[in-house]
C-alpha cells in the first residue's frame, strides 16, 4: 500500500484542502498495529506517510547527541523530504505515541535487477523510547512485511560500539557476516569498525 502513495513532489502541488483530503483518505485505508512496550506504554505502528516529514524532523531534532552517536546525522528537513520521494523503493514504518513520532524504521529495497529481493534496514528511536522493546517490535514488523513482499534477504551495518543495536539485530535473527575495519568516523575523532549483518528471510 505504501508504494501507491503520492510522491512528495506531486503532493506539494495540491492546495491545503486537497492535501488534507488526500491524507484523510490514506489514513482511513492504512493498516495500523498496536505494540505494548516494557514501560507499559502503547504505541501505534503504521506505514510512513508523505505528510510525516515535519514530525520526523521534530523527532530527530529533539534527539540527544548520545542517541545519534552512531548514526549518519544530521537529519535535515531537506534530507527527510528526499526520503519521501523514494517511497517505491521503501518499506517505511513509524511509531506514534500521543500524536508524536517516536520511532522510524525502514527497509530500502535495492532497485537493480542483480539485487532483486534484497535490501538494507535502519532503525531510529527517540531517546525516551529506547530499551523498552520498541526497536524489536518495529524490526520484527518490518521483517514480516518484507517477507510478505517476497523479499529474500535483508542486510544492515552497525558500528561495533553500538552494543544495544547489535543485540537487537541478533535477537531478531541477523547474523554477523564480517567486519569493515575503521569504516565509521565518529564524533570522538576516531575511526570505528562497522559490523556487517544479514538475514535470509526464509529462515524466519
Give me the numbers of helices (H) and strands (E) for the chain, helices first please: 6, 8
Q: Do 87 and 7 touch, CB atoms closer than 8 A?
A: yes
Residues 97-107: tens digit of each pLDDT: 999 999 999 99
Q: Do 179 and 165 touch, CB atoms closer than 8 A?
A: no
Q: 0.75 cut: is pTM over it?
A: yes
pLDDT above 80 for 27 = no
* Alpha-carbon Rg for the chain in angstroms: 17
Categorize the per-residue pLDDT at 1 as very low, low, confident or very high, splitting at 50, 70 and 90.
very low
Categorize the per-residue pLDDT at 88 as very low, low, confident or very high, splitting at 50, 70 and 90.
confident
First and final C-alpha spacing in the chain: 23
Predicted pLDDT at 132: 97
pLDDT above 50 for 2 = no
Packing angle of the helix pair 134-148, 163-171 (nearest 10 deg): 40
User: Cα(9)–Cα(190) distance, rounded to whole angstroms?
Assistant: 39
Predicted pLDDT at 17: 57
On the 0-12 / 13-18 / 19+ scale of CB atoms within 10 A, 178 is exposed
On the 0-12 / 13-18 / 19+ scale of CB atoms within 10 A, 95 is buried
Residues 28-68: tens digit of each pLDDT: 567 999 999 999 999 999 999 989 999 999 999 999 999 99
Domain annotation for the chain: domains and CATH numbers: 2-152 (3.40.630.30)
Amino acid at each position: 500500500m505504501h508504494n501507491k502513495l503520492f510522491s512528495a513532489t506531486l503532493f506539494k502541488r495540491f492546495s491545503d484542502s486537497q492535501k488534507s483530503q488526500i491524507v484523510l483518505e490514506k489514513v482511513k485505508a492504512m493498516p495500523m498495529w498496536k505494540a505494548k512496550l516494557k514501560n507499559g506504554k502503547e504505541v501505534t505502528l503504521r506505514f510512513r506517510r508523505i505528510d510525516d516529514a515535519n514530525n520526523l524532523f521534530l523527532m530527530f531534532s529533539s534527539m540527544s547527541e548520545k542517541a545519534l552517536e552512531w548514526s549518519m546525522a544530521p537529519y535535515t528537513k531537506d534530507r527527510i523530504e528526499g526520503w519521501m520521494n523514494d517511497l517505491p523503493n521503501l518499506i517505511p514504518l513509524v511509531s506514534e505515541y500521543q500524536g508524536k513520532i517516536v520511532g522510524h524504521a525502514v527497509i530500502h529495497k535495492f532497485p537493480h535487477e542483480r539485487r532483486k529481493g534484497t535490501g538494507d534496514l535502519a532503525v531510529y528511536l527517540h531517546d525516551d523510547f529506547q530499551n523498552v522493546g520498541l526497536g524489536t517490535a518495529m524490526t520484527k514488523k518490518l521483517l514480516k512485511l518484507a517477507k510478505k513482499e517476497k523479499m529474500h534477504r535483508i542486510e544492515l551495518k552497525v558500528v561495533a560500539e553500538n552494543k544495544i543495536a547489535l543485540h537487537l539485530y541478533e535477537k531478531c535473527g541477523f547474523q554477523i557476516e564480517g567486519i569493515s575495519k575503521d569504516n565509521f568516523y565518529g564524533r570522538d575523532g576516531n575511526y570505528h569498525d562497522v559490523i556487517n549483518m544479514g538475514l535470509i528471510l526464509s529462515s524466519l
